[in-house]
Amino acid sequence: RAFVLHHYLPHDKSIFGKFKDPIYVLIFLATLIPMHGVRVIIFALLLLMLTFPGPPDEFQLINYILLFKGMQFLTSGFIQMASG
């Protein structure tokens, strides 16, 4: 849980630092796969990791929602438009 959350939602790295991390790039590319349900499963697991075992921080939830909606825009919008 901590390993995945620290690599995907680090508190001490900018976007440039995130892209230098191979685990982050792997998870990021997995969320870009335009197959039905892959992105939803990954983000559902992230939400479960954020909410359990204790109540999540408000910043973490807002950051999660913004990431989820941004990825939804990319995969459902641009990538689907480009693929036809």
Asked if the bond preceding 22 is cis, omega within 30° of 0, the reply is no
Q: What is the pLDDT of residues 6-27, one digit of tens each?
A: 898 888 899 899 999 999 999 9
Cα 48 to Cα 81: distance, rounded to the nearest angstrom: 31
pTM (two decimals): 0.80
Cα 19 to Cα 14: distance, rounded to the nearest angstrom: 9
Mean pLDDT, each 10-residue run in order, the chain (84 residues): 89 91 92 82 92 87 90 79 73
